[in-house]
Amino acid sequence: MIELKQLTKTFDVGKTTLTAVDDVNLTIADGEIFGIIGYSGAGKSTLIRILNGLEKPTSGTVDINGQKITDIKGAELRKARQKVSMIFQHFNLLWSRTVQENIEFPLEIAGVPKAKRVEKVKELVELVGLAGREHAYPSQLSGGQKQRVGIARALANDPEVLLCDEATSALDPETTDAILDLLVDINKRLGLTIVLITHEMHVIRKICHRVAVMEGGKVVELGDVLEIFQTPKQEITKRFVAQVTESEDSSETIKHLRELYPTGELVKLVFVGEQAEQPILTQLIRKHPVEINIVQGKVSHTQRGAYGTLILQLKGTDAEIRQALEFLNQENVQAEVMAND
């Protein structure tokens, strides 16, 4: 388990003091994929550097599986950091070394004998899907393959925690999804705790169990990913959620839909978890005399379940539409009339 208590990091910039991390308190469970999201300058990169001992906090503590990383130094810190590995946005590979030699590098530093290094590399190459590329150099690899080497290298010392610093930001969307799928697979196979920082809500939605939203060095919102998608509270969180759910709530979209469907009411439904799999509309049609037209909708999947939105055109009397909305809300489906500003 990872515990951050009253963590603060300040930097002196000229005559002013910059607070990069401001009184952060977090608990991350063993085997969890935990996301930290924020825009540039939010403090997330500094936070993750504190987690692996690259930065010392100004105050507060970091406890990883019972060991206070913030209280140790020298050889003891170097040993502890072998259990907290990291992968980076730009891969940080050794360009003069082959795939095998890159993965071997941390094992060399740790003094592992050659025979055991070769055996471990073979195992890791299979795990990350690079079999047959062991003798290639980084310049001969695609971006996704380079990141797979980075992941294999990070796993070489059998870490307990894997930190991901914007690990997919330099990749195209298809390659990003493949790397995220690999991280989920590693998490399930090895029971590895993964902490990742990103500015992309798609990454959070796809693989994280919980997420902390950072702004101005503070954690301004924290919760289960599915809950955050369902009911984001802070404005910054709503902007991040809009990266994935964008468009249906914009005034331009509502105006366009109203032009296409000028009668009745446009109603947005939000389905979360098991609700996304239930025949709610069938029940609605059977129980209420309203005319239903499906306008648009989509379902997104998170590690905790599905999150879906659906826009309907409901036709009927005011009383019939009101009763239909009450039925949906009783079924724990968020239903609201989309106002045309």
Q: What is the pLDDT of residue 21?
A: 95
Q: What is the pLDDT of residue 249?
A: 55
Instruction: Report the distance separating Cα 262 and Cα 241, nearest Å.
Output: 29
For 34-92, the pLDDT digits (tens) are 999 999 989 999 999 999 888 899 999 999 988 888 888 888 887 877 789 999 888 88
Range of the domain at 272: 247-337
Do residues 126 and 229 share a domain? Answer: yes
Place of tokens 């990749």: 171
Do residues 317 and 171 share a domain? Answer: no
- Using CA atoms, how far residue 64 sits from 53, 69, 202, 254, in Å, is 11, 7, 28, 48
Do residues 168 and 287 share a domain? Answer: no
Q: Give every strand in the sheet of 291-302, ordered side by side.
A: 291-302, 305-315, 265-272, 334-337
CATH code for position 153: 3.40.50.300
Q: What is the pLDDT of residue 73?
A: 82
- Using CA atoms, how far residue 16 sits from 10, 13, 92, 107, in Å, is 10, 5, 32, 42
Do residues 166 and 73 share a domain? Answer: yes
pLDDT for residue 244 is more than 60:
yes
- Using CA atoms, how far residue 324 sits from 241, 293, 296, in Å, is 27, 14, 19
pTM above 0.75, yes or no: yes
**Run of H or E including 239:** helix 235-245
Do residues 35 and 80 share a domain? Answer: yes
Instruction: Count up the domains in the chain and report the number.
Output: 2
Do residues 240 and 256 share a domain? Answer: no
Do residues 292 and 212 share a domain? Answer: no
Residues in the chain, overall count: 341
CATH code for position 305: 3.30.70.260
Domain boundary among 209, 244, 279: 244
For 107-146, the pLDDT digits (tens) are 998 899 999 999 999 999 999 999 999 999 999 999 999 9
Instruction: Report the distance separating Cα 245 and Cα 196, nearest Å.
Output: 21
Instruction: Report the distance separating Cα 3 and Cα 25, nearest Å.
Output: 8
Do residues 199 and 289 share a domain? Answer: no
| Gyration radius from the chain CA atoms | 24
Provide the H-helix boundaries in 110-234: 114-127, 143-155, 173-190, 201-207, 225-230
DSSP code for 193: E
Domain boundary among 223, 244, 265: 244
Do residues 304 and 240 share a domain? Answer: no
Do residues 49 and 122 share a domain? Answer: yes
Q: What is the pLDDT of residue 54?
A: 86
Instruction: Report the distance separating Cα 205 and Cα 51, nearest Å.
Output: 23
Domain boundary among 180, 210, 244: 244
Q: What is the pLDDT of residue 67?
A: 85
Do residues 295 and 318 share a domain? Answer: yes
Q: Per-residue pLDDT averaged across 90-96, rounded?
A: 91
Do residues 71 and 138 share a domain? Answer: yes
